[in-house]
Amino acid sequence: MDNSGQMGAGPLPVTGIVLAGGASRRMGQNKAFLELAGRPLIAHVLDRIAEVCEEVLIIAGDVALYASLGVRVVPDIFPGVGVLGGLHAGLTAARHDLILAVGCDMPFLNPALLRAFVAWAEGYDVAVLLQGKQVETLHAAYRRTCLPAMEAVIRAGERRIISFFPYVRVRYIAPEEARALDPDLRSFWNVNTPQEWEALRAKMGIESR
């Protein structure tokens, strides 16, 4: 494994977790099941992350809703804590020490970039993209060593994902590092509103239904 993240084509000993626990209030419907090219959005995410990770988990509040997707579904240990709680549950359930965490609404994941995050996480507890002051906490790598700090901040009433970062070793990835593998940073595109969904479909040249 080198610094470019080129580690061969097969799945790595890493757990991929897809967070699907959001209420999707701004979208008005469950965005995991929005249809893209005739399939649920989350199915595209699962396909991409399975190219890289030996184990894939879905983290969701409603386990039964995702049972038909053929992937183990894990509920939050600390419900109501948002993405931070989902990351905690995923790390707790993961078979591997390192996880790659993505959202269910990120259908344009780049397997080469995911592999690079595994490489960038070597020697660190967290590897995340930093764009200006924005930390991209999904599409990031987290190690099991984060669990004590995560649990401590959750019990202290924190909901911000970055609230545990001061207590662990974090590697911040510069945009130019990621753009070397994903020039448009499409891997980080996601959807939260109907307008964003239509814009994303338009970018991809997919006719609105």
Q: Is residue 102 part of a domain?
A: yes
Mean pLDDT of 77-103: 96
What's the confidence (pLDDT) of residue 12?
97
Q: Is residue 7 part of a domain?
A: no
- What token pair was written down for 76? 């939050």
- How do residues 30-60 score in pLDDT, each as one tens digit? 888 888 888 888 999 999 999 999 999 999 9
Which of the residue ranges 57-71, 87-101, 121-135 would you say has the lowest mean pLDDT?
57-71
- Please determine, for residue 178, whether its predicted confidence score (pLDDT) is greater than 90: yes
**Rounded to whole angstroms, how far apart are CA atoms 65 and 83?**
18
What's the confidence (pLDDT) of residue 5?
41
Closest CA to 152 of 170, 168, 141, 139: 168
193 confidence band (pLDDT: 50, 70, 90): confident
Higher pLDDT, 178 or 25: 178
Domain range spanning residue 66?
Answer: 12-203
Total domains in the chain come to 1
Q: How many CB atoms lie within 10 A of CB 69?
A: 17
Helix then strand count (H, E) for the chain reads 6, 9
What's the confidence (pLDDT) of residue 154?
97
Mean pLDDT of 3-18: 76
Q: Is residue 209 part of a domain?
A: no
Q: Is residue 3 part of a domain?
A: no
CATH of the domain at 73: 3.90.550.10
What's the confidence (pLDDT) of residue 38?
85
Q: Is residue 2 part of a domain?
A: no
- Please determine, for residue 1, whether its predicted confidence score (pLDDT) is greater than 90: no
What's the confidence (pLDDT) of residue 192?
77
Give me the helices (H) in the chain, please.
41-50, 83-93, 111-120, 147-155, 175-179, 194-203
Q: Is residue 147 part of a domain?
A: yes
Q: At what angle do helices 111-120 and 41-50 cross, to 10 degrees?
A: 60
Mean pLDDT of 169-184: 97
Q: Is residue 28 part of a domain?
A: yes
